[in-house]
Structure 1
Amino acid sequence: MKLERESIKLLTKALEKLESGFDLPEMSQSFDSEKMEEVILKTAERMRDNYPYFHPLFAGQMLKPPHPIAKAAYMMAMWINPNNHAMDGSKASSPMEKEVVADLAKMFGWKEHLGHLTGGGTMANLEALWVAGKIHPDKTIIASDQAHYTHERISEVLKLKFDKVETDHQGRISLKALEEKLRKGNVGTVVCTMGTTGLGSVDPLKEVLELQKEYKFRIHADAAYGGYFKLLENLDTETVEKFELLNTVDSIVIDPHKQGLQPYGCGCVLFQNPDVAKYYIHDSPYTYFTSDDLHLGEISLECSRAGASAVGLWATHQLMPPVKDGEFAKDLSKSRNAALKFYEKLAESAQFFPIVKPETDIVVWGTKGERTSEMSQAAQALFKRAEENQLYLSLYKYPTAKFSNVDFEIDSEYLVCLRSSLMKPEHKDWLEEIWARLGKSI
């Protein structure tokens, strides 16, 4: 198998175009080419000790290869190495960042917004909860027990009160448990996870919005993984409605380095109300002079940020805008279709059973057996055998208390399941091969 090289061809042409824009005196640069070649080949040798994250047979963790246009644009920008903290260090890439952030805000239905790119979803969620704490400094942040663990950790770092509530059997926040917390009062923000990292489940945003009318809390949507599913129509009707309501929340996080075809790290935080800028704005005696417009560093907790991330995302949006019925959305639809087809195969299987119907493109399933403890052992053994057959899966611990009307004995707190993130468009065409290798691993 050969690695993708089209981005290298694009990069060479892009660098020629880039250097022609600088009418500067020549400067001497001296490098030991032979030593560099020795080191880079040694580096490549070390990097061979990796799972093939880029290949469709890697169907476990949330790892999706960047698009060739994103890789080429990112690498090309590195020859300039812009810092998107201030216009002084990012004359071209800061405006590009503002454009792509506006694209993402528009995708969620916002014309007015405040936002910027971040180093990833953790930093983006930190900023969202930091603003939540500024607005309600003494009130509690609530998230489900299937929300990403960083929400609890971030709240601890920010010295904010945090509480979590249980989920239903599909991994979605329990409305009953949530309202019990709300009745006690002092809740400032509820986190709705729009695509959990475990099951890919989407919290019931419509019902949470109804509770908001009575209990007057803010809503932060953690759509780091699932945000781009807003563009799809091949979701269940209920799930489509949840994503359509994202324009009503207070803040949103989305990670272009997950479903958005970008290199790590590229997250994004968005606020519906631009007035939250007042919590950020600060002064620097040497930084903000190039432009009278708001610099990105004035609305970000991070200081230095890679302008290359904005350039890669901008190029990708130029090629494949994040719009419904566009090429990007059609590719993402393939991942969703792969998940549905895989779910059907599992439901008809004599050896496996799906835990829940996937809402996005994550599929979790168990091995059939008489007792959950034995089924867990079988899943773990299958996980190892699958890797021997070059099929790379992941494991997930499902609470057995959420099972009902099952034909096996529950003798353990968790059932260890197998899990696949079918997030590569190629997974649709590789599904039969994946199924065949899974069968060989039984």
Structure 2
Amino acid sequence: MLEKESLQLLFEALDKLELGFQGMPEFNSPYQLESLRTVLLEVATRMQDNFPYPHPLYVGQMLKPPHPIARLAYMLSMWINPNNHALDGGRASTFMEKEAVKEIAQMFGWETFLGHLCGGGTIANLEALWVAGKVKPGLKIVASEQSHYTHERICGVLGLPFAPVKSDCFGRMDLEALETLLKAGDIGTVVVTMGTTATGSVDPLPAILELRSQYHFRIHADAAYGGYFTLANNLTETTRAAYDSLSAVDSIVIDPHKHGLQPYGCGCVIFADPTVGTFYQHECAFTYFTSSELHLGEISLECSRPGASAVALWATQRLLPYTREGEFATEISHCRTAAVALAQKIQADGRFVIPFSPELDILVWTPRAKSASIASQLAKDIFTAAAQKNLHLAIAHLNVELFTDVHPEMEPDQDKVTCLRSCLMKPEHLEWVEDIWQLLEQVTDQVLADK
């Protein structure tokens, strides 16, 4: 299951890397190989206590193995261990980060921008909302009730007022509910989610842009999960329109460590207006400078940052450019195709209820039952039984209204329904849909037979 052939390339790359430091006096490593071996094998034993995240039968959480080129480039850079806070600490990796971020910005139609990599979507969203609070001081941040919980928590950290916006029957931000809030005149920023964590729903950005022309708020796009689907060739017309509108927002967050095939943690925040960089200005007596050019530490709330993340991302983009018809875009499209294919099989089985078809590569469903509580228990039982057959799903707790709209016979005896959830985010999932379905069918038969 764990690919190892590519490791042979690492030795060749290390020999080439070493050529760049010829002329330096030699020194011997103080580390004893046998001591390293003992500890490393212990680490391998401890790491066996994991779910099989790289395998196609793991369809639970948002876990996708890094591409071999990203893994190799990251390891190679560890012999240098660059720090992309200042140019002196990561000379080559700083320029590689700028090139990589530029390619991400261009993917969304931006040639002029300000952006950088960071530890992940949480820190990226923190920076975006921090800037939003500077641009619109004292005004409220709003996001869909299906948005990631980090937005409300970040607003608490920043001391910014926050309010949730009701979601519609597709898990998207409800436009009427949003406009009701906007009429109060105290909203500075609307967070638009491009792929919610629970259901993969995409907020209706074109309509929200129309509201902006009337109510004059900022728009921050949280595309941490779904950003790369802008390259997909099989989105619905509505979803495609939302992605095609991303160039009109004020800031975007995307996580290369999700669909971008990168190791954790690699997030990215970009701003349409480069002048927001003035909010980052600081004086520091101990920061060293060998260049008059703006260094990445001057446009980031984080100080020390791993240059290895930039090196890995740059290498991946070099191998798999972000072109509409390229291999990377094709694999993103395969992920949605796999989700739609599995959703069709689940929908055709009368024992399940799907509230809506997947917009991206996440789908949710629950067993058909006479009440929300019974459906929830059946979902938990199927989840447990599936794991015993090495099919690893996830569960989510969603508003009961999402299911009673399509299954009115279900008694809403509780506010939430526990449902099954899968993220088919590996390109290989398209080839494994039938295997996944057969296992799901078997465990469902087993669970229902026991009732």
> What TM-score comes out, normalization by structure 1 length?
0.98
Residue type of the alignment partner of 1:430: W
Q: Provide the residue aligned with 1:312 in structure 2.
A: 312
Instruction: Flag structure 1 segments of 5+ consecutive residues without an equivalent.
Output: none
CA distance in 2, matches of 1:115, 1:57: 36
Q: Which residue of 1 aligns with 2:412?
A: 410
CA-to-aligned-CA distance 1:223-282 (integer Å, 9 cap, x gap):
000000000120101101100100000000000000000000000000000000100122
SS of residue paired to 1:134:
helix
Matched residue, 1:59: 59
How far the C-alpha of 1:170 sits from its partner, in A, is 1.1
Deviations 1:364-414 (A, max 9, x none): 011112222111111100100000000000001121134325232222211
Q: Is 2:209 the partner of 1:209?
A: yes
Match runs of 1:338-357 below 5 Å:
338-357=338-357
- Partner-residue secondary structure (3-state), 1:441: helix
For 2:387, the equivalent position in structure 1 comes to: 387
Equivalents in 2 of 1:398, 1:163: separation in Å? 19
Match of 1:420 in 2: 422
Cα contact 1:7–1:71 (8 A) shared by 2: no
Give the alignment partner of residue 438 of structure 1, picking from 420, 440, 448: 440
The farther-off stretch of 352-361 and 48-57 is 352-361
Q: 5+ unaligned residues in a row in structure 2: which ranges?
A: 445-451
- 1:289 deviates by 1.2
The worse-fitting range, judged by mean Cα deviation, of 65-74 and 132-141 is 132-141
CA root-mean-square deviation: 0.9
Q: What is aligned with 1:9?
A: 8
Please give the alpha-carbon distance, in whole angstroms, between the structure 1 residues aligned to 2:95 and 2:311.
10
Distance in 2, Cα, partners of 1:13 & 1:357: 47
- Deviation at residue 10 of structure 1 after TM alignment: 2.1
- Secondary structure of the corresponding residue to residue 305 of structure 1: coil
Per-residue deviation, 1:337 = 0.5
> Could you say what secondary structure the match of 1:141 adopts?
strand
Equivalent residues of 1:288, 1:295 under 8 A apart: no
Q: How does 1:74-153 map to 2 (within 5 A)?
A: 74-153=74-153
Asked if the contact 1:396/1:418 (under 8 Å) is kept, the reply is: yes
Q: Which amino acid aligns with 1:103?
A: E
How far has the Cα of 1:439 moved from its partner? 1.4
Task: Tell me the amino acid that sits aligned with residue 334 of structure 2.
Answer: K
Partner SS state of residue 16, structure 2: helix
- Residues 289-314 of structure 1 deviation map (CA, whole Å, 9 limit, x = unaligned): 11111000000000000000000000
Q: Following TM superposition, by how much is the alpha carbon of 1:138 offset from its aligned partner in structure 2, in angstroms? A: 0.7
Amino acid at match of 2:177: A
1:398 corresponds to: 398
d(CA) in 2 for partners of 1:207 and 1:6? 49
CA–CA separation in structure 2 for the residues paired with 1:145 and 1:6: 45
Structure 1 match to 2:19: 20
Is the CA contact (8 Å cut-off) linking 1:88 and 1:287 kept in structure 2? no
2:246 match: 246
SS in 1 for 2:359: coil
Dislocated runs of 4+, deviation >3 Å:
none
Q: 2: distance between equivalents of 1:122 and 1:366? A: 29
Q: Shift in Å at residue 111 of structure 1?
A: 0.4
Q: Is the 8 A contact 1:322 1:329 kept in 2?
A: yes
Quick check: 1:142–1:189 contact (8 Å CA) kept in 2? yes
Shift of 1:184: 0.6
Deviation at 1:4, TM superposition (A): 0.6
What do the CA deviations read for 1:60-104 (whole angstroms, capped 9, x no partner)? 100000000000000100100000000000110000000000000
Contact 1:338 1:361 in 2 (8 A): yes
Q: Are 1:256 and 1:266, in contact at CA under 8 Å, matched by a contact in 2? A: yes
1:188-233 CA-to-partner distances (Å, cap 9, x unmatched) read 1000000000000000000100100000000000000000000012
Greater shift, 407-416 or 262-271, is seen at 407-416
| Structure 2 partner of 1:190 | 190
Q: Residue in 1 aligned with 2:34?
A: 34
Alignment of 1:162-173 (within 5 A): 162-173=162-173
Q: Distance in 1 between matches of 2:39 and 2:74?
A: 22
> Counterpart in 2 of 1:255?
255
